[in-house]
Amino acid sequence: MPASVIRLARFTGRLSLALAAVVALVVVFLALIALTDGTGSGLAAWSTTIGAGLALAVWRGRRRPWPARLVPFLPVVVAAALTAAVCVPTVPTERQRPPALPFVATQHWSLSTGSRVAVYHYPPANNGPRHPVPFVYLNGGPVRGISVLDHRFLQLLARQGYDVYAYESAGAGRSDLLPMDQYTITRSVRDLAAFVDRLDKGKVDILGFSAGGAVLTRALADPSVAARLHRAIIAEPGPMDGPTAHIAGHKGRSSARGLAPAMTGPRSTHVPRYAVAFGLMRLGLLSPGTGLIGQAEGVNAFTAADLGSDTASAYCARDAHRIPTEDTARNFSFSPAASLRVQQTIKDSPSIAPRLERSRTPAMLMIAECSSQVRQWATAPLAHDPAIGRTQYMPGVGHHMWNGLDDNNDRAAAVVTAFLEGKPAPLPNYPARKDIPAFLREHR
């Protein structure tokens, strides 16, 4: 065999061993990140991994001549550089709130619960009749800022005579952060009650969308909170309790997930530190309160592009190539850690069905044709809340029903205002409670 071939084989073998050593050290580092919950920004896992690697390199090189002793250290140096990138922040670690919106003032209200939330007020902007009951909006997320697209919908309601208020939940948008262990679905409901009390205008009409719909559903099951509500609209709700959250049912008609062009813009998940942190949190291998990245750093790092296909899933397949820009980069705010924490408290909560069955607050349910939500998340409140007297199945729209496309905002507003004003529904009352089995069976 030619000497050149032998040398190539030896080089390839050594290179393979070196790469295997690097991979092994990286795997050990990730395992230690999970075991230590990222203590000290990952430095505890890093120093342990590199220390072990150096000790092994010393042992392997102990009988080699001096220049060759350095060879076992090369994989350790490479692994040290790769893993160090997970320990070094690349965004500010102190909270960076979004700048003020140009079209609405941001107020900050301190609630009796201890939360300090960002509040937006759109007073009636028409010269015609004004609705006498204040209107409150609970956005989705959870722990996500209110998008510009949602603000436009709220402005539309204000132009129709409604006195509109919206607030960003604690930790979201321009609101103050909470300690991680205080993000719970129960706290979200308590904050809603405290917000209505702070508003001090009597009972309110309320629209809860997505995660906000889950908060509203649980509020309706709590008589002390429900007493503050005049009429309630549950729109495309998330799961209301643990049993509902664990349902693996079907979803609505085809969404644009997998069909829409990939979102553009910077992604935190292209940075090793945040790819590891968010990835391991999503897998349940890091706690939301991990020591790897702080809560504020996580909010600062996460971008709209990190949502990936989640945004497309909120639109019908037919709209895949005209999905609107939901938010601006400067206004976008999402806390992945706090959101996971809230979602986990929902999954861990017992059934609220027995309490919801005693609800008496007049309510309406809105369901999108192309919903990306599990259908039972919407039908569970309908099945157990006897005060849901109207359901509006919204054709031609996905999970984000007021999306600025065509006349979708006007159609959603017509459904909302008809219910709040006690007028006939623009759409058939479907599915009614008796229709639930057929609705689910037919995969509507």
Question: Which residues in 256-383 belong to E strands, given as ranges?
Answer: 363-370
Q: Is the pLDDT of residue 7 over 80?
A: no
pLDDT at 12: 62
Query: In terms of C-beta distances under 8 Å and separation of at least 24 residues, what long-range contacts does 8-15 make, across chains too?
Result: none
433 exposure class (CB count in 10 Å sphere: 0-12, 13-18, 19+): middle
Tokens in use for 181? 């262990």
Query: Smallest Cα–Cα separation from 183: which of 3, 369, 410, 337?
Result: 337
Q: Is the pLDDT of residue 351 over 60?
A: yes
Q: pLDDT (tens digit, 9 = 90+) per residue, 74-116?
A: 888 899 999 999 999 999 999 999 999 999 999 999 999 999 9
pLDDT at 308: 84
For 162, 163, 354, 418, the CA distances from 421, given in Å and listed in that order, are 11, 14, 29, 5
pLDDT top residue among 361 and 52: 361
Q: Is-above-0.85 flag for pTM?
A: yes
pLDDT at 19: 86
Return d(Cα 53, Cα 397) in angstroms, integer. Answer: 55
Query: In the 8-state DSSP scheme, what is residue 373?
Result: S
Average pLDDT over residues 38-58: 91
Say what the alpha-carbon torsion angle 270, 171, 280, 29 is, to the nearest 10 degrees. 80
pLDDT top residue among 388 and 264: 388
Q: Is the pLDDT of residue 152 over 70?
A: yes
Query: Which residue carries 């005693």 as its tokens?
Result: 358
Q: Residue 176, Cβ neighbours under 10 Å: how many?
A: 15
Return d(Cα 219, Cα 190) in angstroms, integer. Answer: 8
CATH superfamily of 107-441: Alpha/Beta hydrolase fold, catalytic domain (3.40.50.1820)
Query: How do the domains of the chain map onto residue ranges?
Result: 3-87, 107-441
Contact 381, 234 (CB under 8 A): yes
